[in-house]
Structure 1
Amino acid sequence: MASAFKSSSATLFNNPTLSDVKLKQIYQGKVREYYAHKAILCKESAFFLKAFTGKIREATEGVMKLHDDDPQHFEVLLKFIYSDKYDKDAITQLAADDKNKRVVIPIGVYAVADKYDVPKLYDPAAEDVETLLHDTDVIEGAIHAHYKDKNSFDGPIGRLITSAALGNGCFTNAVEFENLMISYPMLAADVGLYVRRSGRSSLDNLRIHRCPICISDSYIDPEAIFSYGEGSSLYCYICGTAQRMLEDW
């Protein structure tokens, strides 16, 4: 029954049939309009539920204006509300072979999901981000995307980015990483929390592992390695190659 409802509601995305509200999504002076349905929006979003059942203007008017969200990120959110599907293929097409944009989009999607209180979207967006953080340039792009307007720390995306950054020896050894922490205090806070929660007073206990494929060095936490169990694999943060764990790691 639930899948049938989602299948039928997906056909109503930006469809005037039974639409009882129009969303005007405004960004940098440009407007996108969507035919929407209050019942569908409220089912997944506490933000819309509060807006449409409260005493504010949007509760009675047929138009709701939404500001400051990247149009691509907002549309991914809206399609998810209607379909209950996180469409990685569509996001890949939006990125158009730009690997930095490919990670920026799910970071932005997570941010708008948080803004509009759509918790079902948190996990798929975060999992998407996590699978992409294996390249130095991508990690730096993720830092800029996540922390540029951030005034809070210790969030799920920040923890993922911090873990990937500190696992990449080439990245953290570069002076640019220190500059990023100076530029983004919330990144510095997340790094401090990661180190503290790892039970280390510094990063000195990490071992350096050299990838036999790309000959790049990465910091490896020995305790974390052996907690996975014999026969498990780790992924090089530079080239993404899976490698079986060795005793001398």
Structure 2
Amino acid sequence: MSTERVIHPDADTLAGDIAERLAEAISRAQQQGREPHVVLTGGTIAIAAYEQLSADGADWSRVHLWWGDERFVAAGHEDRNDQQARDAFIDRLGIPDDHVHAMPARDASAHDGGEQSMSDAADGYGASLPGEPFDLVLLGLGPDGHVASLFPGFTQLDEQVRSCVEVYDSPKPPPERITLTFPALNRSAEVWFLVSGDGKADAVARVVAGSPVAETPASGVTGLERTLWILDEPAASHL
């Protein structure tokens, strides 16, 4: 397993490189006869990259999309990572609905007369994950070192059985979320960290220095074959 870093001068260049690398990774998997499974992240730099994706270079009808975490709000809400991705590229590129594996929404069971519980939603998503490792997991990084919705000091960091869990008191709004756990995030050929801005520089440096997972959860995620950090210069300024 290799760990690599690519550093760009600014956020715009960073977003363009992410988009190019993502299309290339998908195309490469498809040329090997596979429909790649990619775990998406939210966040400003990821959305900027998604907006630059085009129909060139990859067959977007033959890719499966998953999410590393989600805000447990109603379907279609502007806070949801899946809705932001739909607005940025999924609808534009015509990815089939049955290849878009969004995490459950709060109102997913509204037609049955009630809301879905977070624990049931998390377990249901965990059960739906592919049996084989993901091809690629995309992750952002919080200034506190959190990744997906795995936050410093939270009990979810210790989960070793469930692939997906509920979070009731996220320090970032909204407080109720669903997230993949370390066992699921670490079951990927490649993990890419997409990080922009000097506000993330300390967290990046802590991960690179091997900060404990309890303090810097991002330290707990690595790819089976490669871990790639794609940064801009402000985010890399403490290295």
| Class of the TM-score when normalised by the shorter of the 2 chains | 0.3 to 0.5
Richer in helix (by share): 1
Kindly indicate which of the two structures has a greater share of residues assigned to strand. 2
